[in-house]
Amino acid sequence: MVNDELLLEGLKRCKSLGALAMVHAENGDAVFEGQKRMIQLGITGPEGHALSRPPLLEGEATARAIRLAGFVNTPLYVVHVMSIDAMEEIAKARKSGQRVVGEPVVSGLALDDSGLWDSDFTTASKYVMSPPIRASGHGKALQDALSNGVLQLVGTDHCVFNSTQKASGIDDFRKIPNGVNGIEERMHLVWDLMVESGQISVTDYVRVTSTECARIFNIYPRKGAIIAGSDADIIILNPNSTFEINARSHHSRTDTNVYEGRRGKGKVEVTIAGGRVVWENNELKVVPGSGKYIEMAPFSYLFSGIDRADASYLSSLNAPVKRFKSTT
């Protein structure tokens, strides 16, 4: 919902600070038009959310953000990539050498939009997020892009609301709070979807869930590595252990779960944070206030060579041209 002028100013400021620009890529004006169209058609339920903001609007906004970041020559991070349309724009930019990071989220990899058409509002509304969960086929394409390196890491876009809160949009999908769960489920589902299926290796699993995240956000090797001097944040995952996800047993303060009933292989059995065991035998062992703020330094590896590229661009201009004014 920012115009190009403001987006350009933001990108320029990020570049000067060494900050990584992150964008939620949808065309807000077109989405607003799509929402009006659905209401005029009498489509007021959760399915109207997906219908009002189709993949082409995500693709258009992704392309525009990428091109403007290229114009400024600053790295770009596209959050929650949900569609083939957006993924293909990222693939094209990366192939050309542009510094673009694409982040799919667990819901986009694991789900399709069929839940939005459920006849029960509580069930359908729990799937409302933006950009929307897409039709069948998009998820597999995003999995493929993650396995071949077009997309770099897996996030969650975790933002939960309970069924009472979601019900505020029972007569108008525009009023349904956007967001789904994913923090607790991410490691399990990525293993089951990507490693258990043979799409990525165990090493790649570590990369897309941990190491590359730490590198991009410039906290590696404090995070994302098991070496002397790192923070000793470690999980122990049993690839033979099975899991089942449901709202009765999860730890979020919400009464629904978008992965309800899903089963798979690969379960985190032990979590170590800062060298202390904080999860074992299905028991959480943490003390409130023990967390630490992690400062992320500017100018991550994504900025390497930006100055040289700028200098090369300036030297290639052959401008300004010195011209003689006519004296006649």
pLDDT tens track for 25-83: 999 999 999 999 999 999 999 999 999 999 999 999 999 999 999 999 999 999 999 99
- Provide the pLDDT for residue 171: 98
Nearest-angstrom CA–CA distance, 224 and 232:
9
- Provide the pLDDT for residue 1: 80
Nearest-angstrom CA–CA distance, 212 and 184:
20
Nearest-angstrom CA–CA distance, 252 and 310:
47
pLDDT tens track for 169-199: 999 999 999 999 999 999 999 999 999 999 9
User: What are the Cα distances from residue 37, in Å, to 34, 43, 301?
Assistant: 5, 9, 44
pLDDT > 70? residue 267: yes
First-to-final CA distance of the chain: 54
- Ramachandran category for residue 325: left, alpha or beta (phi over 0 → left; psi -120 to 50 → alpha): beta
Average pLDDT, the chain: 97
Nearest to 238 by CA among 262, 267, 265, 212: 267
pLDDT > 90? residue 326: no
- Provide the pLDDT for residue 131: 98
pLDDT band at 115 (very low <50, low <70, confident <90, very high): very high
Q: Which helix (H) or strand (E) holds 240?
A: strand 234-244
pLDDT > 70? residue 328: no
Class of domain 17-228+243-263: alpha beta
pLDDT > 90? residue 327: no
pTM for this entry: 0.96
- Provide the pLDDT for residue 3: 93
Contact, 172 vs 44, CB < 8 A? yes
Preceding peptide of 221 cis, ω within 30°: yes
Average pLDDT over residues 230-249: 97
pLDDT > 90? residue 85: yes
pLDDT tens track for 143-178: 999 999 999 999 999 999 999 999 999 999 999 999
Average pLDDT over residues 110-122: 98
Q: What percent of the chain has pLDDT over 90?
A: 95
- Provide the pLDDT for residue 249: 94
Nearest-angstrom CA–CA distance, 307 and 101:
19
pLDDT > 70? residue 205: yes
